[in-house]
A and B are shown apart, each in its own frame.
Chain A
Amino acid sequence: MSDMERPVRLDPSDTAPGDERADGREIVQGIVGYLVGLGIATLITAVAFFISGTTLVWGPSIPIALFVLAIAQMGVHLVFFLHITAGPDNVNNVLALAFGVLIVLLLIAGSLWIMNHLNQNMIPMERIMQMQR
């Protein structure tokens, strides 16, 4: 009944997140994949740190650029490190990711939207203090 009795499936189309092929001959291929991911991620990180401190670009554009770079780097991590790809066996993983992203966006955007309005409508703290005396 245990999984040790079941043959290890070496079908290359079977991929889980973080999955590599069990074939020992493909060590090099796996390492190269991680090296590519590391290279791209390092590049994006370096650009992000450079942009945050520079005066070369128009100031108000910096947060948007940082945001875009962060999204791009998360995508690189997902593809090269977690192996969430568009492969045929990855449909469930991608669907779960899409749902997670939806919840995260709703939570963050909704919180910011509501709390900004509440902040605008709130009595200044000094006035509240005076009313309590």
Chain B
Amino acid sequence: MTPIEASAGYADPHRVGYGGMSDSRRHVSEHAARGPESKRIIVGFGFWIFLLSDIVMFSAFFSSYAVLSGNTAGGPSGKDLFNLRNVAIETACLLLSSFTCGIASVGARAHNGLIYYSGLAVTFVFGAAFLILEVHEFTGLIAQGAGPTRSAFLTAFFTLVGCHGLHVTLGLLWLLTMMAQVFAKGYRADILRRVLCFSLFWHALDIIWVALFTVVYLMGAGQ
């Protein structure tokens, strides 16, 4: 066994890299003969597993919100509180930031600093704008007496939407870290894998926001 094979085997103890094992596809990928997949693909797969578990956690918050959304305890309901114009701007911010994050990942793979840094900078601006709008909405709700302690509906609302906002906050910190790391260390293979994980994380946040604005805001305001 060569050192390369040994290190790859260590990185892939459960042989997840072996994609096409069935006879029908072996002629397409021929992975069984070629050995384990590249580290980039295995890292992407591992991070994808993490993202799916994060989505499962969000689904628990979603189901508690769905169960509790009618329990307003005589307080305001979603129809009274939600400002759909604000939500539309938030949605546009997050969708555009997801797009520019994809552009930045194209730039990273091409080792193009202009595309990479400007893409991530615009992503940061849109992400920060989203967060500011959300914090503004939250402080407004609390100021009018509709804080998380008002009713079960509002507790579930602040937990679900706040958890997503927390993810966006952490994502922004991660974004700055990735800009700094590429700046300091260049387009090394391990740095590029981190950029890949970050872009997956950011896109996954946008997917959760799609479920969120549909279930919480659009359905809540339409009731």
Listed in ascending order, the chain A residues whose CB lies under 8 Å from chain B are 1-6, 8-9, 13-24, 26-27, 30-31, 33-35, 37-38, 41-42, 45, 48-49, 52-53, 62-63, 66-67, 69-70, 73-74, 77-78, 81-82, 88-93, 96-97, 99-100, 103-104, 107-108, 111-112, 115
Q: Given known contacts A42-B95, A81-B206, A112-B66, is B41 in contact with A66 (CB within 8 Å)? A: no
Chain A residues near B48: list those with CB within 8 A: 16-17, 93, 96-97
Residues of B within 8 A of A2 (CB): 190
Knowing A31-B103, A52-B84, A93-B45, the reply to whether A70 touches B112 (Cβ < 8 A) is no
Of the stretches B142-150, B176-184, B207-215, the one at the interface is: B207-215
Q: How far is the CA of A85 from the CA of B100 in the complex (A)?
A: 21
Beta-carbon contact of B98 and A77 below 8 Å: yes
Max chain A C-beta neighbours (<10 A), residue from B19, B107, B204, B210: B210
Q: With A18-B196, A48-B218, A96-B49 as known contacts, state yes or no: A74 contacts B211, CB within 8 Å.
A: yes
- Across chains A and B, which 3 residue pairs bring their CB atoms closest together, nearest first? A16-B44, A100-B52, A111-B63
Chain B interface main SS type = helix
Query: Are A18 and B29 in contact, CB atoms less than 8 angstroms apart?
Result: no
B interface size (C-beta, 8 A): 69
Check B28–A88 contact: CB distance below 8 A. yes
Interface SS of chain A: helix
Cα distance, A77 to B62, chains bound together (Å): 20
Tell me the chain B residues, 6-32 only, with Cβ under 8 Å from chain A.
7, 16, 19-20, 25, 28-29, 31
CB atoms of A18 and B55 under 8 A apart: no
> With A and B bound together, what is the CA distance between A5 and B92 in angstroms?
42
Task: With A20-B109, A24-B112 as known contacts, state yes or no: A77 contacts B3, CB within 8 Å.
Answer: no
A42 to B95, CA, bound (A): 8
Would B109 and A21 count as touching, CB distance under 8 A? yes
Q: Can you report 25 residue pairs joining A to B where beta carbons are below 8 Å apart?
A: A2-B190, A4-B190, A17-B200, A18-B200, A19-B40, A22-B109, A24-B111, A27-B110, A30-B102, A31-B103, A41-B95, A52-B219, A53-B222, A63-B219, A66-B218, A70-B210, A74-B211, A77-B207, A89-B20, A92-B45, A99-B52, A107-B63, A108-B59, A108-B66, A111-B64
